[in-house]
Amino acid sequence: MAWYQNRCPYCGNHCPDYDTVGKGSNTCRGLDFGGILIEIEAPTNRISCPEHGVVTANVPWSYPGSGFTRDFDLTTAWLATYLPRSTGSSYMRINWATVGKCISRSLNDIEPERSRRLNGLVNIGIDETSYKKGHKYITVVLNHDTNTIVWASEGHGKSVLQRSYRQLTQKQLASIKVVTGDGARWITECVNEFTPDCEGCVDPFHVVEWAMQSLDEVRREVWREAYVEPQQLSSENPRKPGRPKQNDKALAKVKAARAKAEEIKNSVYALGKAPENLTEKQQLRIQLIASTNKRLFRGFKLKEKLRLTLKIQDPEEVERERAAWCWWASHSRIQAFKDLYQKIKRHKRHILNAIRYGMRNARIEATNNKIKLIVRKAYGFRNIQNMLDMVYLVCSDLKVPLPNRKSKVAKSA
């Protein structure tokens, strides 16, 4: 142990003593032996590091600033990747918030240079996902080739994404060839600013989602119009005591108009599904809409036409079908789809790039779901950095080593 004394815990350099007053004992909590609490106590002192200042000398079995052994921190991090955070804290007999600190220390040991993830990027995806109510978002950048997160940060928008791009060297920026996104303007602006030579792609899934939003806007507009009729009929034919027979026809009209409005209101799932996936009841609802409301049914056909167009694999055929769809949408007399036509016209190149390169945002959408699962398992995070460290640990190919166990790589070798 003599060679290890007076070593800086951060840089590992041998440093002189700072004072003699700081000499004492260092106690670290170790893994339990059965149900018995284990603590390791060893003499230590403070040293003066030229780079990091006055710090406590390093000990080989503990991370800097930790009150636990390395094996304890790694075991806690391993449990947190598979179990809810409360379960891990109960099993390890530590505070709920301490689990996050163990995760951060373990990640910094397993991957001390996280910037290496930014090397050799070719195909990347950019998206934001919510982690808390109240419009709390994080922005993530995914490497499509390795299906791992290479960068994540709190917030969303152009200023947040710019921080990611500014970390890249000119060589790293030049290696990026394709960027996928959801068509957000702030993503497009950053891509054009930092990597103007790469190709941007808008996932067809998001384009169909735009069409769904336009169709739902039409549905709500039609429902509001249909709901006016029973209200007017009710005001013109108020119910009277005894319900006289002369009001039966008027009441029947009110009920029919109200039922028609309810059919439109409850058609959101039927309109959103593909025709081949409709249930028998939903098919009848679509037929009723086709016979009673031509405008809403026309919007449904526009959505389906766009969905089928984006399933075509030939970019030239997609462009022909897209042009035909744009003409139809622009002459549809439906304002929501006229606006959608303008949006698709702006993203024409990016939509065709997604077909041409076969790039989808499915991986990053799956990663977003994984992040939401991380947050749910932990019952939320009070420290955003602990959450980001957990995301880096889980949404990558890193493996947390358990103490006294050989890794799979070493075993197969």
Mean pLDDT throughout 100-105?
89
What per-residue confidence (pLDDT) applies to 410?
39
Residues above pLDDT 90, as percent of the chain? 28
Task: Round to whole Å and give the CA distance between 394 and 33.
Answer: 28
Look at 230 and 133; give whichever has higher pLDDT: 133
What per-residue confidence (pLDDT) applies to 309?
92
The token duo for 51 is 């780079």
Look at 152 and 132; give whichever has higher pLDDT: 152
Residues above pLDDT 70, as percent of the chain? 90
Mean pLDDT throughout 146-159?
91
Most confident listed range (90-99, 200-209, 299-308):
299-308
Domains and CATH numbers, the chain: 2-110 (no CATH), 114-203+360-397 (3.30.420.10), 222-348 (no CATH)
Mean pLDDT throughout 279-306?
90
305 falls in which pLDDT band (50, 70, 90)? Answer: very high
Tokens 């910037």 belong to: 115
122 falls in which pLDDT band (50, 70, 90)? Answer: very high
What is the per-residue pLDDT across 1-41, written as a single tens digit (0 to 9) for each?
A: 454 577 887 777 788 877 754 556 678 888 888 888 888 88
Give exposure, 321-331, as e/b (b: 16+ Cβ within 10 Å): bbeebbebbee
296's CB contacts (< 8 A; 6+ apart) are 218, 219, 222, 264, 271, 289
244 falls in which pLDDT band (50, 70, 90)? Answer: low
Residue type, 302: L
What per-residue confidence (pLDDT) applies to 235?
66
Question: What backbone phi and psi angles, to 5 degrees, belong to 222?
Answer: -65, -40
CB atoms within 10 A of CB 376: 10
**Closest to 80 measured CA to CA, from 64, 104, 108:** 104
Task: Round to whole Å and give the CA distance between 120 and 101.
Answer: 30
Please provide the average confidence, as pLDDT, over all residues in the chain: 84
Task: Round to whole Å and give the CA distance between 43 and 23.
Answer: 7
What is the per-residue pLDDT across 178-227, written as a single tens digit (0 to 9) for each?
A: 999 888 889 999 999 999 989 989 988 889 999 999 999 999 888 888 77
What per-residue confidence (pLDDT) applies to 412?
35
409 falls in which pLDDT band (50, 70, 90)? Answer: very low
- The sign of the dihedral angle between the CA atoms of 119, 120, 122, 123 is negative
Tokens 């009841």 belong to: 281
To the nearest 10 degrees (0 to 180), the angle between helices 335-346 and 348-357 is 60
What is the per-residue pLDDT across 324-336, written as a single tens digit (0 to 9) for each?
A: 999 999 999 999 9
Q: Is the pLDDT of residue 236 over 70?
A: no
CB atoms within 10 A of CB 216: 16
Task: Round to whole Å and give the CA distance between 22 and 12.
Answer: 19
126 falls in which pLDDT band (50, 70, 90)? Answer: very high
pTM of the model: 0.78
- The sign of the dihedral angle between the CA atoms of 320, 322, 324, 327 is negative
